[in-house]
Amino acid sequence: MGVAPEHAFALDVDKIRADFPILAKEVHGKPLAYLDNAASSQKPLAVLEAIDHYYRAENANIHRGVHHLSELATKKYEDAREKVRAFINAERASEIIFVRGGTEAINLVASTFGRSRVGEGDEIVITHMEHHSNIVPWQMLCEQTGAKLRVAPIDDRGALIVDEFEALLGERTKMVAVVHVSNALGTINPAEKLVAMAHERGIPVLLDGAQAVPHHAVDVQALDCDFYAFSGHKMFAPTGIGVLYGKQKHLEAMPPYQGGGEMITTVSFEKTEYNVVPHKFEAGTPNIAGTIGLGAAIDYMQAIGLAAIEAYEHDLLDYMTSRMSAIEGVKVIGTAPEKAGVLSFNIEGAHPHDVGTILDREGVAVRAGHHCAQPVMDRFGVPATARASLAFYNTREDVDRLVAATEKVREIFA
């Protein structure tokens, strides 16, 4: 099959697995094969310990206190911002806004930047492979403003039809919002090229990077995107923390998102002055522990190395794709030439939910459903798929277990 074993990579998977206590769990009396990473990834000890340490030894509110613990917590919080900056190669730490997750990041842009730019008759271009969180906020903006949503099509492999994307960019296009890596299909979009096409016409671009950052290095300056959104919990950090990157010039010009403490410099009943970015967009007490956990997750990923993670997962995806495709009655949905981490599939005669349940009885955790991407399901004429999704701690053994469990499903439904 021409695929290299795990030890051929600069990545010690046994050692890595030992860092994730949950991976040693048994499910229904079987060892866990966790293949639902696109939904949420597991957390290494380094992240768990960073959060634990914060609550045990550093807990205080940030930015406002003059006492030792508050200064310590503030430093940890701002250190995490710098780690995120370096992780995605943003020019400045002030371009990093902490939010609840990718969903909130996109909503923030739609309801501030979008709301101040988009008017009646204007157009917002997205693609057919977006997650609902990169569809609905723009639809809501269209409802509020009278703008129109235009959708760039995808081909039968699940790749964006780039020419048709470009053809949609016109005089009335005020915003482009595109997923970097599709959660339902695994397709990697040619983000840099799409951004360049939009910029040639003066159109700003938001990239939804929720499924990109766990799998390969992202450089927002090289991409030249205006906004980049992602969630912590899909990249080995806790839930409830995410990031919006925005170019400084946009963040400064945008109205605030939520009002409250921290996002102001002075408040009177007559007039309120807003704080500088990024604080203008971080109203109220933020998820301090989650932010520190995100910083620890970044340190952890960088210690392994993003290039090593990408190479290892690429090989594992090839292995999973070839083994699963070889099973009679299995149809893989999403076969674009450039893919990361995800294998969506259906088994002839079996409903994806039944597939998910039977796999679970074998200790194999996958997701079954529409993956918050119903238009993708419609495009492929299926109500749902089963989806196995990888992280760097998965092994060929996990894949072999998936294959064996899938063969069992076949026997049951044959």
> What are the catalytic residues?
372
391, 234 in Cβ contact below 8 A?
no
The distance of closest approach from Cβ of residue 325 to ligand PLP in the complex, given in angstroms and rounded to an integer, is: 23
The distance of closest approach from Cβ of residue 232 to ligand PLP in the complex, given in angstroms and rounded to an integer, is: 8
Radius of gyration of the chain (CA): 22
- CA-to-CA separations, 145 to 28, 124, 207, 228, in angstroms, rounded: 51, 11, 22, 23
* Residue closer to ligand PLP (CB basis): 363 or 369: 369
* 133 lies in the binding site for ligand PLP (CB under 6 A): yes
- 42, containing H or E segment: none
* Residue closer to ligand PLP (CB basis): 70 or 239: 239
144, 114 in Cβ contact below 8 A?
no
From 95-103, 158-166, 289-297, 325-333, give the range in contact with ligand PLP by CB under 6 A: 95-103
* Residue closer to ligand PLP (CB basis): 136 or 327: 136
From 208-216, 220-228, 274-282, 322-330, give the range in contact with ligand PLP by CB under 6 A: 208-216
Q: Cα(105)–Cα(243) distance, rounded to whole angstroms? A: 7
**Contacts with ligand PLP in 1-40 (CB under 6 A)?**
none
The distance of closest approach from Cβ of residue 148 to ligand PLP in the complex, given in angstroms and rounded to an integer, is: 22
The distance of closest approach from Cβ of residue 373 to ligand PLP in the complex, given in angstroms and rounded to an integer, is: 8
Q: Cα(231)–Cα(227) distance, rounded to whole angstroms? A: 14
How many binding residues for ligand PLP (CB under 6 A)? 14
The residues near 183 (Cβ < 8 Å, ≥ 6 apart) are 38, 131, 210, 211, 342, 371, 372, 373, 389
From 23-31, 131-139, 247-255, 280-288, give the range in contact with ligand PLP by CB under 6 A: 131-139
- CA-to-CA separations, 248 to 93, 165, 224, 228, 260, in angstroms, rounded: 10, 27, 12, 13, 22
For 354, counting Cβ atoms within 10 Å of its Cβ (0-12 exposed, 13-18 middle, 19+ buried), the class is middle
**Contacts with ligand PLP in 63-92 (CB under 6 A)?**
none
Nearest to 51 by CA among 73, 25, 84: 73
* 208 lies in the binding site for ligand PLP (CB under 6 A): yes
The distance of closest approach from Cβ of residue 234 to ligand PLP in the complex, given in angstroms and rounded to an integer, is: 6
Nearest to 390 by CA among 129, 238, 214: 214
Nearest to 17 by CA among 29, 34, 40, 39: 34
The distance of closest approach from Cβ of residue 258 to ligand PLP in the complex, given in angstroms and rounded to an integer, is: 16
* 204 lies in the binding site for ligand PLP (CB under 6 A): no
| DSSP string for residues in 54-116 | IIIII---SSS--SHHHHHHHHHHHHHHHHHHHHTT-S-GGGEEEESSHHHHHHHHIIIIIHH
The distance of closest approach from Cβ of residue 370 to ligand PLP in the complex, given in angstroms and rounded to an integer, is: 12
* Residue closer to ligand PLP (CB basis): 209 or 363: 209
* 231 lies in the binding site for ligand PLP (CB under 6 A): yes
DSSP state of 291: H
From 67-75, 97-105, 297-305, 342-350, give the range in contact with ligand PLP by CB under 6 A: 97-105
The alpha carbon dihedral of 59, 239, 192, 179 has a sign of negative
* 211 lies in the binding site for ligand PLP (CB under 6 A): yes
**Contacts with ligand PLP in 346-385 (CB under 6 A)?**
372
Question: CA-based angle 99:101:103, to the nearest 5?
Answer: 110
Among 124, 179, 320, 390, binds ligand PLP (CB under 6 A): 179
* 183 lies in the binding site for ligand PLP (CB under 6 A): yes
- 333, containing H or E segment: strand 330-333
* Residue closer to ligand PLP (CB basis): 176 or 409: 176
* 101 lies in the binding site for ligand PLP (CB under 6 A): yes
Among 131, 215, 367, 401, binds ligand PLP (CB under 6 A): 131
**Binding region for ligand PLP (CB under 6 A):** 101-103, 131, 133-134, 179, 183, 208, 210-211, 231, 233, 372
